Amino acid sequence: MNITQAIEKGRLCLSASDSPGSDSQYILCYVLDCTVTYLHTWPEKKLSEQQNIDYEALLLKRKIGVPVAHLIGQQSFWSLELDVNAKTLIPRPDTEILVAMALEKIQLGMVVADLGTGSGAIALALASEKKGVHFMAMDRSLGALKVAQANAKKCKITNITFWQGDWLSSIANNKLDMIVSNPPYIASNDPHLKRGDLRFEPSSALVSGQDGLKDIRLIVKQARLALKSKSWLLIEHGYEQASEVNILFQQAGFEQVQCAKDYGDNDRVTLGQQPL
């Protein structure tokens, strides 16, 4: 079987996936240890017997729903290629708007906390752009923190301190210059949890009580104490949660509360400023 035939085989095998063509190409690149450009440059190149076996085994796993990111152990986010496994959420392009909004407001010398860092995606993306800023990346899960720390090492990023915690409960009042977070925000009975990649991701990173807002409620409340005056809180949420999250920010006393859309044009990030 050559590269063209392998991609065709993948397309047929994964016809139930949303993206059979690109899934097949990513999996094949992983097996051949090559880039997508290589696949197009050498379409006639034959797979070895072992490569055939490995490719087919991965296609079968993908067919039963295992996320591509878990099969190849990687996901790109912002400008970074991150290692991922089943201990963390798979970074999504939706979250890049949170990074872009935070970058607009981050200034030299700040201390910025990323709550529920998972694979480290947000903190690493910000830290890669802002070398003169100190980041604190928190997660409750030690398994996730290990992944995040390994990613920092891989990306040679040194301006992040990692800590295990329960949101902001161990942070003293009036300490932080910015808080960013992509917390769990899915309602426990949401049918999406039984579909697609979500079935393979840790529910601790996805589910937040009956209405999906349990953790956001807590973070908004705690952030009012932890943030310095005039500092910003930015939280990612579900596309239908913007008005409820807006109310939570307003009730807590945040000012300039606004919502930003992701690149899919969905309401995705709410931000607010701590009063003077």
Contacting residues toward ligand GLN, per CB under 6 A: 89, 92, 94, 182, 184-186, 198, 206
Q: How far is the CB of 205 from ligand GLN (least distance, A)?
A: 6
205: closest CA among 146, 128, 118, 145?
118
Q: How far is the CB of 95 from ligand GLN (least distance, A)?
A: 7
- Looking at the Cβ atoms of 160 and 235, the one nearer to ligand GLN is 235
Q: How far is the CB of 184 from ligand GLN (least distance, A)?
A: 5
176: closest CA among 187, 189, 167, 185?
167
54's tokens = 């490995």
Quote the CA–CA distance of 199 and 216 in Å, as a whole number. 22
Question: Cβ(20)–Cβ(10) under 8 Å?
Answer: yes
- Looking at the Cβ atoms of 94 and 244, the one nearer to ligand GLN is 94
- Looking at the Cβ atoms of 151 and 274, the one nearer to ligand GLN is 151
Quote the CA–CA distance of 134 and 96 in Å, as a whole number. 20
C-alpha distances (whole Å) from 38 to each of 5, 82, 153, 260 are: 15, 21, 28, 38
Q: How far is the CB of 258 from ligand GLN (least distance, A)?
A: 20
Quote the CA–CA distance of 77 and 47 in Å, as a whole number. 29
Dihedral over Cα of 98, 102, 103, 105: its sign: positive
202: closest CA among 141, 146, 125?
141
Question: Cβ(113)–Cβ(177) under 8 Å?
Answer: no
- Looking at the Cβ atoms of 59 and 198, the one nearer to ligand GLN is 198
- Looking at the Cβ atoms of 152 and 206, the one nearer to ligand GLN is 206
- Looking at the Cβ atoms of 8 and 190, the one nearer to ligand GLN is 190
Q: How far is the CB of 78 from ligand GLN (least distance, A)?
A: 16
Q: How far is the CB of 255 from ligand GLN (least distance, A)?
A: 25
